[in-house]
């Protein structure tokens, strides 16, 4: 079974600075999908970014980018120019590329952006 | 554009009571799933469905039942509520394996 590990339960960053959230995963598959979800205090789950394992290029969405290291099974999220609205719980998630639709989540990292 | 709709938003049950959490999506997604979220545990998969008439167990299925009679609806039934089922429950759906999950707004359930 796949596992997803987020080693930082909590992090903080000053507004306008850059922060990186770590995620590692364990799988024997070569084709899979990785996601970062954001959960603000409103409890809503919001997709931040996704990466397809067969794509070498790191995904980017505005201030959010990933560092995907397939051999190391690492999928970190970098947030540039942090804003107060980035304060949230961030979850890393893994989905197999086979017929299995299941999404496996890490335990989350609580990010606080300080003014 | 409703997306994934979960009802109710909040619920309090007494131990032993049963209830159904409702989930509906209007995006014609084949895949639907239920997760529970507990502090320090992330989201754990309870049950999922890859189409009408097809359901399967996830990581923590005990004490829960599901059915999928239509593409749109995927209700989660608690057969005999226990305090260990106090949690926030999320329903989610997706169009395909490489599509992201669309989440409902969650149901906070407390069992006393």
pLDDT tens for B36-49 read 999 888 899 999 99
Distance from CA of A96 to the nearest CA of B (A): 8
The torsion angles phi and psi of A64, rounded to 5 degrees, stand at -105, 130
Tell me, what's the pLDDT at A2? 80
| Cα distance between residue A114 and residue A17, in whole Å | 10
Q: Any idea how long chain B is? A: 112
What's the pLDDT band for B98 if we cut at 50, 70, 90?
confident
Tell me if chain A has a CB within 8 Å of the CB of B106. yes
Type and span of the H or E element at A95: strand A88-96
**Are B90 and A9 an interchain contact pair (Cβ–Cβ within 8 Å)?**
no
Are the beta carbons of B110 and B19 closer than 8 angstroms? no
Evaluate if residue B10 carries a pLDDT over 80: yes
Distance from CA of A66 to the nearest CA of B (A): 16
| Cα distance between residue B66 and residue B70, in whole Å | 12
Size of interface A-B (CB pairs under 8 A): 54
Distance from CA of B18 to the nearest CA of A (A): 25
Residues of chain A contacting B33 with CB distance shorter than 8 Å: 101-103
Secondary structure class of B74 (helix, strand, coil): coil
Q: Residues A7, A13, A78, CA angle at the centre, nearest 5°?
A: 60
């Amino acid at each position: 079974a796949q596992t997803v590990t987020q080693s930082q339960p909590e992090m903080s960053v000053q507004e306008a600075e850059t922060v990186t959230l770590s995620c590692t995963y364990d799988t024997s598959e070569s084709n899979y999908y990785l996601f970062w979800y954001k959960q603000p205090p409103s409890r809503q789950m919001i997709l931040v970014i996704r990466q397809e394992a067969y794509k070498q290029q790191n995904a980017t969405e505005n201030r959010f980018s990933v560092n995907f290291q397939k051999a190391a099974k690492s999928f970190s999220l970098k947030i540039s120019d942090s804003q107060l609205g980035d304060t949230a719980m961030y979850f890393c998630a893994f989905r197999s590329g086979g017929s299995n639709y299941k999404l496996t989540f890490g335990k989350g990292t609580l990010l606080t952006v300080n003014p | 554009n409703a997306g994934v709709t979960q009802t109710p938003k909040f619920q309090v049950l007494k131990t032993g009571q049963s209830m159904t959490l409702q989930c509906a999506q209007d995006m014609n997604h084949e895949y639907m799933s239920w997760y529970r979220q507990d502090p320090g545990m992330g989201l754990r998969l309870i049950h999922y469905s890859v189409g009408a008439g097809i359901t399967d167990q996830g990581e923590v299925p005990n004490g829960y039942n599901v059915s999928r009679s239509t593409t749109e609806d995927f209700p989660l039934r608690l057969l005999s509520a226990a305090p260990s089922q106090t949690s926030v429950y999320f329903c989610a759906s997706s169009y395909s394996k490489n599509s992201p999950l669309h989440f409902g707004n969650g149901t906070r359930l407390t069992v006393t």
